[in-house]
Structure 1
């Protein structure tokens, strides 16, 4: 059977949006969002109000992406004068034109509109991220409430069902017991009636004997013959019939006495309502891989997310810190030769770097890709580094001595710095003068402002230590006995979620340990179930998605994976 051919209507080319005649569209004005031809492009750029507009290739996707966030700052009219604003007065927190500056703002703190706009865009981005976290938090709470409602309704239905079942069971048992009592009463009735019947028969028999003797005596008395009197007297009077014994009648039986008083305490029999804990909502924690990428390095030792498209990854063996752009594939846009121990994101997306055996914390300016020393801790060297939501830098430090054989002169601690590089606090010993850390390899903080540290005690002994801001140990986690019974607990990275859960990456067992804020194990998730192997590093983006950098699994391979994981708590 032949199918009818579909008809395709020819698409009419869209004309230039300025001349509305030429259909050879080649250009687009980013500011005006207008498509135009070659001729109109030249005219558009000669117009005074559009001299500074950005014209890009209408069909160049990369150019579109580069210009899609262009902000126009030269066309903001002044509210007081018939001019465009040219500067921003920080003193007065307002845009100003040349006349405004001359009249009122000569000695004020002035800055370019572009600079202040960029700063405020960054502030808005940070606010957007914080709002996203809060929205995510409320969405999680909503899911928890809905889950709790469902579980409580099920719990309530089960409780009512138990009451109904208990009622039926007691009814059945009461009926059985009542029937048994009825049987006992019937048996008692038969016993009493049989006893009385037997006594009636005995009494009747004795009465008949007496009546017969009485009749015989009467007959003798009525006789005319004396001989009958002598014979009767000898028979009846000499051997007088004794009185027949009367058996005692029964004086005991059984009666049913209702337990009226006990009805007031029916709960002792039936059961009662007692306080118990509500069912826990959302106890199941799940992870779903939504994207996976292949790098050209052996291990993603550290991963740090700037946005959906921009990621920084490091590899010590290659002395490489790379900025990669992610679309369908990974594209390296910058490769800096440096050995990164740890890194942490600053509020403006610049990055603090802890380098191997370095006495400096360095700052990577992400826009320019330059690295400069930020602060020195000489003669100590840096270990793990973390930036809190309160813009504090928490740095792990150690001396250059033997890593695990500590002496009184050894220095192993964490230090808190402000963004001005000044030290605010340090923690080395607890209140019992016991050393807190051996090598503070990774650091994070939680919603309670506690500090969580992966501490390397030896090559085979690692742990997670949580301390409060007084420097006192709140809890210590050393692995799950079920998972780490025959394998080492090797926590190589640690994060906290916006809800307070603690994620600990155990590379040896290929497990992700999820802890509560109090250090209790919630679950130990097998990452291989999601196709994630040899996970090495972690970061959480502004959407709450977990990024996992992995090892290739073989030192000769250079195809380490980078996964994006959706978390459900």
Structure 2
């Protein structure tokens, strides 16, 4: 038995000493003393620091060693200390070559070996040092890569924060201008009212003055002329005039208001301030509150609509259902037979439905009828749909063909206003190259920056694209190398938290990725191991921070895909 175990142990193949994975050893680097697989041999040759290394087939190792040994000449190695002396031995104690004088003066009792043996030891040491340097180079390159990623991330973050400040400045300017116009309008109105009162008083006063001037003239004439008839007549007219009431003219007017300037300094409260955030100190926590069973094989879409109610759907089952969450189970409130690719809730409470047609459909919350909407992408067909916080409608669209691949037409994300008018179209980058393959899901953050799940092959491999508001791509997230090294990133849905962190489901890997607005993965979670949540697929989050996760079932299981309510904190 012992012999058998020993034999088995001896048969374990060596792994490549660079990748430490492949057992197909075919090459050896003489300088590094590394056994390599073919893939690493090609990679090793491309590294600048090793471009002078000798890499040989392992079949030629013996002949190469013989050739190398045969070529070496140890007969003429000059002593570095004693001029004219030739080294004859290698001091193993001091690890140097020595001449006869060196031996008698310094190395008398040291351990000496032949130069050939000393050469072998020296080469072994050099190879070890070379190997250590290679490892340090790899580590340094990794550090430089991380620094580069960090710099790029911070540059991107700088531009985002700068735009936020400038946008805030613009908003404040607009508010100041709006308030200024309001004050000016109010002042104009008050002046108009005041001037009307003043002008009316002035007109009445002028009329009174004219009448008094006329009476004064008549009375003066009566005093000048000695005409009894005229005197009696003027007196009679004056008596009549005196008996008539004269309207009093009000000369006290309400004056125009005085403008009192506000504070001259714009405080942080109004503009905002810069706050240091240590993302490394964030404590992300997930706690499953409750799980519910549906009668679907997959909860492909999930939209929370308040009052413990949600919409769920599955395309292949042709089912759209409105569910009520109770303490015990899910209660079906409404059910529709319709092919829903994606859906989103309007401010009115109506549900927008993408059915892969040219027009989005709308399900009325009052009549429960499904009708065509005014939101059209004709001649394309709709895919994802999302409603932003400022009531814009985002729709992804593709050419009208049943299959996603190959791409035979435009793939776009279209922004419309609430009236259905197209305001922007995202489809090419700054080089004119098409951005999307299959824009599957869309979401936005608190500043209405747009994030899109783009699936780029039939294996569901995908990425997250952060769009520039005008057009183009700000950054791309293709998964975390720590978790997507062996299994590629296959995003299914995404949602943004109040803190502007993006939660993404990676269904086949049972993972959740948390990405910041700079495109960095700041946390990830294995939902299967840590929460007991298998195949997380669809997502939504309510205003209290409760996360809703719709899942997929194993093929061997009944059609009872689960929905989990999860309390999240730290983001």
Could you state the TM-score of these two structures normalised by the residue count of structure 1? 0.50
Larger Rg: 1
